[in-house]
Amino acid sequence: MPFLSTRALRGLQQYQYKSGGYTILDSWHQPFWNGITNMLPTSLAPNLITLIGITGLIVAFLVTATMLPELEGQGPAWVYLMNAAAVFAYMHLDCIDGKQARRTGSSSPLGQLFDHGCDALSVHYLLACVATSLNVGSGWQAVMGMVSIMGPWLLAHWEEYHTGLMTYGTSTWGLTEANYLVITLHLWTAYFGTGFWASHPSQLIPHVWPYIPAALHSLGPAAQSLGPYLSWLDFQWNYVVLLAMGGCSIQLSSQQMWRVLVDGTAKLKPEEKGHKALGQQAAVSHLAQLAAIMGLGVWWLLEPTHHGPAQAHVMGGAFGLLYALEATKLVMDHMAKEPFEIFWWPLWLLGALIFNSKLQFINPAFAAWLAAAAAVAGYLQYVLSIIDQICLFLDINCLTIKHKRI
């Protein structure tokens, strides 16, 4: 089933990649990434590099899901070390695929789409493993942590669709820094165990914590007023991480929405507009559609209908694929300069799952497996179809270099 019209394929062919900028850490890594790229065989296709990276993340996720099906508990140290290694490999492979494309003269719009499509797919796998390392289980804590990353990531591509610029982070903090933080988290858990994340700051510094109120008292009335609330701040360490993630998410999301809906300083050039649906009304419509998918997904994940081991992973995996599907379509429509509209069937599917969880026409656990199967089928149908269409139109291969220009 063809998803792309000839007009969309022509718009994609004219797509020009625009860098989103680099952080200081990105600049420091450039010599390393260039050196690794120069060591690669020129027959190695850039998309194959990306595929190897995402495969590592998926394998790490499957092993973690097998060992710790409910996203909590203490696993062997090697599980967390494997997750750290998978994120490290994916991060660096994701940064050298474009360099390999330029080196071999095989750059194409498909490479950019493949890269961002794999990024969309990786979000759930990465976050599920982070939740496991943090030992938060499959409840609202894991779901809120997931949303705090999925939301801004999706908004970054929504912003790019409307402004032509994708801003995710600042000049001092971006994806590279975030990935290193995830790696550190996994390594920390491998060494100290998941029990650390259930401890409190007062347990880490038991000889200092009791004296903090007195120290505040000595600083004056303003500081004294914080004393009664000190016990409220003694969260578990995994809650501290989740609160930090939530705070960063709110800041990023508000800035992204402001730039598109209010500020509007970044304007698309005429050649970048194509047939896009633009303007404030369109932006709000797109935002509402994406919010509906996220909202229903969160609602379903929070339904108290878990039955049997790995049920949390089945539900999370199903929603993760639906998220990746909608995100990939957003990226595709941006690159093809086409009007954006979500796939509506995932919305109806999530609504039906929520309805069933209330009335239980069929076993909710079985319904989750059916949803996962539908998500896999729908995702693969779309992704494989557009890859095939693009390869035929541009006369290229996806995982091999058809026309060498070196």
Looking at the annotation, which residues are catalytic? 116
Could you tell me if 110 and 387 are in contact, meaning their C-beta atoms sit under 8 angstroms apart?
yes
Place of tokens 């990649």: 17
What SS3 class is residue 275? coil
Residue 372 Cα to chain centre, angstroms: 19
DSSP letter string over 128-158?
HHHHHHHT-TTSHHHHHHHHHHHHHHHHHHH
DSSP letter string over 48-104?
HHHHHHHHHHHHHHHHHHHH-TTS-S---HHHHHHHHHHHHHHHHHHHHHHHHHHHH
DSSP letter string over 338-372?
------SHHHHHHHHHHHHHHH-SS-HHHHHHHHH
State the Cα–Cα distance between residues 104 and 205, nearest whole angstrom: 55
Amino acid making up residue 295 = G
State the Cα–Cα distance between residues 159 and 7, nearest whole angstrom: 23
